[in-house]
Structure 1
Amino acid sequence: MKIISLNIGEKRTIQWRNKIVETGIFKSPVQEAIYLDTELVKNDAIVDRKHHGGIDKAVYAYGGNHYPYFKELHPNLDWQYGIFGENITFDQLEETKMHVGEIYQLGEVKIQVTKPREPCYKLGIRFNDQSIVKQFWNSTKCGVYFKVLKKGSVTVNDELILLETAYENPTIAEVYHSKKQNNK
């Protein structure tokens, strides 16, 4: 797995269903390296600190291999990496094979798999279609949150190298499925 896009967003204030909403989900690709810090990606907007950022959700990654599935469902969008709100887009990401607790090297950074992303209405705002939230829940294409164990910069083409397995723990897809059942 290698990085194909690095994505940063600024805080946006938008009108949604007759109320004002602030969000950082509108991320766009950047050409320069990004710095992964202990609780966030430097220069990336985090508006909702209860659900994003922090030790266990410092960086959100998504698989470019998942894009074709959602492009088919939403063909009229202006598709670019970062549309799912991810900081890092990998060429391949398979949530059914990544276990909570696994540790990876990524460039000069060391990161640990922590949680799946749980979609909310802001993903629907980004897609201009709330049906994406249910479509997202009904797949295993949730992406992965990482804890940053060793801070540093990452660049496009850096490879995600497995350092420590955690096969005894559930996969991200299994945790996601469990959370989906609890949210019904």
Structure 2
Amino acid sequence: MAVIAQIRQIRIGQPEHFARGQKSAINKQPVCGKTAVTPTGLAGDGVGDPRFHGGADKAVHVYALHHYDAWRRELPDAANMRAGGFGENFCIEGADENSVCIGDEWQIGTARFAVSQGRQPCWKLNERFSVADMSLRVQQSLRCGWYLRVLAAGEVEAGGDVRLLARPFPEWSVARVLALIARGCCAADEMREVLRLPLPESWANLFARRLETGVCEDWDRRLFGG
């Protein structure tokens, strides 16, 4: 079981009033000591809009700590550009979207996880960072973060190692799949290949529609609201 990364912070939060009359749990706070992992996420954590967040396929959100350095260089005046800014549950050091693959199985503490999908950024990031096109910037950069589903409940703690148990799809990094979305790729061969992955229903439907229609979905509402 190779150690591929470490968890630097564990963060949880509950929904609160955010912007445009919406609630969000993006303002998560770090926790000390051991945190219980349930089939749907971390004990004490919540989501603002269960239509788009949470559930088994988005039980835990992970973000690479070193991305914040890049964002601060690019956007020195952005608000909240620090660990936890993206509302992640795990601030991770040593791995990112390029080195993590769909379907990877991890051991952290006594819990086991599988990498389920990348994050599709929404308009709330524009409000969070006070940057009008932040969601689009995140999508284009592929510095989106990714989600884990829980394979086995247990406990995790900040400072814990991330151990890679299995990598069934080494050719399919999270970044590669995110790039298909960001490029608006509808090439039939790539759509058929990505649909062989154990994707959540929402992503499988997205790529299946592209394969069937040859047309990319409209992102405006997700990226800018309305």
What is the TM-score when the length of structure 1 is the normalising length? Answer: 0.90
Further displaced range: 84-93 or 70-79: 70-79
Determine the structure 2 residue equivalent to 1:165: 167
Task: State the shift of 1:7 in Å.
Answer: 1.0
CA RMSD of aligned residues (A): 1.7
Deviations 1:91-131 (A, max 9, x none): 12221222211111111110001100010011112112232
C-alpha separation in 2, matches of 1:38 and 1:31: 21
Determine the structure 1 residue equivalent to 2:119: 117
Please state whether the residue corresponding to 1:177 is helix, strand or coil: helix
Deviations 1:113-163 (A, max 9, x none): 110001001111211223211110111211110110011121111111111
What is the TM-score when the length of structure 2 is the normalising length? Answer: 0.74
Q: Which structure ranks higher in relative contact order (CA pairs < 8 Å, sequence separation ≥ 6)? A: 1
Determine the structure 1 residue equivalent to 2:7: 3
Question: Aligned in 2, Cα 1:141/1:11: closer, same or farther, shift over 3 Å?
Answer: same
- Does structure 1 conserve the Cα–Cα contact (< 8 Å) formed by 2:68 and 2:82? no
Aligned length: 181
- Does structure 1 conserve the Cα–Cα contact (< 8 Å) formed by 2:16 and 2:48? no
C-alpha separation in 1, matches of 2:15 and 2:100: 30
Q: Decide which structure has the larger Cα Rg and report it.
A: 2
* Identity across the alignment (%): 27
- Does structure 2 conserve the Cα–Cα contact (< 8 Å) formed by 1:25 and 1:123? no
Deviations 1:44-88 (A, max 9, x none): 121211211111110000100111011123323344321111000
Please state whether the residue corresponding to 1:149 is helix, strand or coil: strand
Further displaced range: 124-133 or 2-11: 124-133
Please state whether the residue corresponding to 1:161 is helix, strand or coil: strand
Counterpart of 1:52 in structure 2: which amino acid? H
Determine the structure 2 residue equivalent to 1:13: 17
Runs of 5+ unmatched residues, structure 2: 185-215, 220-226
Larger strand share, 1 or 2 = 1
Matched, 1:104 2:106: yes
- Does structure 2 conserve the Cα–Cα contact (< 8 Å) formed by 1:57 and 1:114? yes
Question: Aligned in 2, Cα 1:96/1:52: closer, same or farther, shift over 3 Å?
Answer: same
One of 136, 139, 145 as aligned partner of 1:137: 139
C-alpha separation in 2, matches of 1:10 and 1:55: 18
- Does structure 2 conserve the Cα–Cα contact (< 8 Å) formed by 1:26 and 1:126? no
Further displaced range: 77-86 or 97-106: 77-86
Query: 1:5-154, aligned counterparts within 5 Å?
Result: 5-16=9-20, 20-76=21-77, 77-154=79-156
Counterpart of 1:66 in structure 2: which amino acid? H
